Structure 1
Amino acid sequence: MKARYIRISTPDQKLERQLIKQHTGEKLFIDICSGSIPFNERAEGQRLLKDMDLNYVSVHAIDRLGRNLLDILMTLQHFDDHGIKLKVENLGIESLVDGKPNPAFKLIVSVLANIAEMERNTMLERQREGIDIAKAKGKYKGRVRGSKESREQILAKYPTVIKRLKEGQSLRNTAKLCDVSLGTVQKVKFTLKKESV
């Protein structure tokens, strides 16, 4: 059985680019989450890893599996251990050739996984630098540590979280779909409960 794994970071991102080479009969596994979340902690990632019928998995690019080198290598090891061939489409390369590990695949994927991890670290570093510059200019808009937001501010700030909770989504799914922390979702849910009392 063939499968295709797709990951987008936010619900408003488009899937089309990752579906261009989709084949009829492929099982689809689609996660909406940050690439920093380990593969085995994602809802669809877990489902894919537990699916014993799979022998072939396609991904558009290696960073769809994650942006952490160790996590990607662990996922690849799981595929190897279970005889699952992985195809990375933007490279046109497969993990197994005639049932044996492809050494070129491992080398290329290790380099690309390392680059994905470096890109994420660079992005976070730029974000921290931007915050530091904004603080130095007195323009930082972050909440003052120890201050509290009013109920109205919390509810106005997270309309998509409220929408997902009202749809009956779990706390974890809501956090993934809205790209916020689990703590934020818990805070919004608590605030909603207080409003209805």
Structure 2
Amino acid sequence: MTKVKYVRVSTVEQNTSRQEINSNEFSKVYVEKASGAVKFLERDEAKKLIQDIDKGNIAEIHITTLDRLGRDIIDILTMIEYFNSKSVNLFVENIGMFSMINEKPNPTFKMIASVLGNVAEMERNNMLERQKAGIELAKLKGKYKGRLYGTRMTDEEFLKKYKNVQAELRNGESLRRAARLGGVSLGIAQKVKRLMMSEA
């Protein structure tokens, strides 16, 4: 039975080093790059974590903050209940508290988790409202050139937008150099390469 850590950032461009600062204390660190809006059970690294839990390999999970599990209160509490049912103790570093004490659910933790989960959900809703309001304001001023809220570029549109990065990669440049020459982030270059490979 092992002690592991689950780390999550919202985008591939974000740095995980702050969350991984104590990674040497754990037998394994699951590094997730997915939005908090994505349900925990639908994330790639979370699925691997669940598989390891189901195999009985994990006794303790550490996360830096509760919102690493999600931004939806129901999703957060569902995962806490699941961990408890599997006798896996969850430790949230910023509040210094375990989900279980003496192998029984910690009622104080559950109460605090409910409050923090609601805060995380409200923060996400407020962020979305601010984003929508900002777009509407930009439209009124005639300055909005982006896509409509809630829409996404297709893979084909994405590759077309970053065709200069494609060209650098086809010329044999490294990801970092292709990103620099194309004037984009490393995360964008990685996605371009991934889509190019899927088309090959």
TM-score range, shorter chain: 0.7 to 0.9
Task: Count residues with an aligned counterpart.
Answer: 166
In 2: Cα distance, 1:2 partner to 1:20 partner:
15
| 1:28 to partner: Cα distance | 1.2
Structure-2 residue corresponding to 1:166: 196
Q: Deviations over 1:1-22 (max 9, x none)?
A: 1110000112222212112233
User: Which of 114, 124, 129 is 2:118 aligned to?
Assistant: 114
After superposition, residues 1-197 of structure 1 pair within 5 angstroms as: 1-51=2-52, 52-143=56-147, 155-157=160-162, 160=188, 161-167=191-197
In 1: Cα distance, 2:159 partner to 2:26 partner:
44
Quote the sequence identity (%).
42
Which has the bigger relative contact order, CA under 8 A and spacing at least 6? 1
Q: Residues 57, 153 of structure 1: CA spacing in aligned structure 2 closer, same or farther, 3 A cutoff?
A: closer
| 1:90 to partner: Cα distance | 0.8
| 1:49 to partner: Cα distance | 1.2
Amino acid in structure 2 at the alignment position of 1:78: Y
Deviates more, 1:111-120 or 1:20-29: 20-29
Q: Residues 49, 120 of structure 1: CA spacing in aligned structure 2 closer, same or farther, 3 A cutoff?
A: same
Question: Does structure 2 retain, via aligned residues, the 8 Å contact 1:69–1:117?
Answer: yes
In 2: Cα distance, 1:110 partner to 1:153 partner:
39
Q: Deviations over 1:126-156 (max 9, x none)?
A: 0110111111112221358xxxx9x788522
Q: Residues 152, 133 of structure 1: CA spacing in aligned structure 2 closer, same or farther, 3 A cutoff?
A: closer
Q: Deviations over 1:11-62 (max 9, x none)?
A: 2222121122334442111110101000000011111112121110000110
Where do 4+ consecutive residues of structure 1 move more than 4 Å? 151-154
Gaps of 5+ in 1: 169-188
Question: Does structure 2 retain, via aligned residues, the 8 Å contact 1:6–1:30?
Answer: yes
Question: Does structure 2 retain, via aligned residues, the 8 Å contact 1:58–1:88?
Answer: yes
Q: CA RMSD in A?
A: 2.4
Q: TM-score, normalised by structure 2?
A: 0.75
Gaps of 5+ in 2: 149-153, 166-187
In 2: Cα distance, 1:120 partner to 1:152 partner:
28
Q: Residues 122, 31 of structure 1: CA spacing in aligned structure 2 closer, same or farther, 3 A cutoff?
A: same
| 1:80 to partner: Cα distance | 0.7
Q: Residues 143, 74 of structure 1: CA spacing in aligned structure 2 closer, same or farther, 3 A cutoff?
A: closer
Q: Residues 155, 97 of structure 1: CA spacing in aligned structure 2 closer, same or farther, 3 A cutoff?
A: same
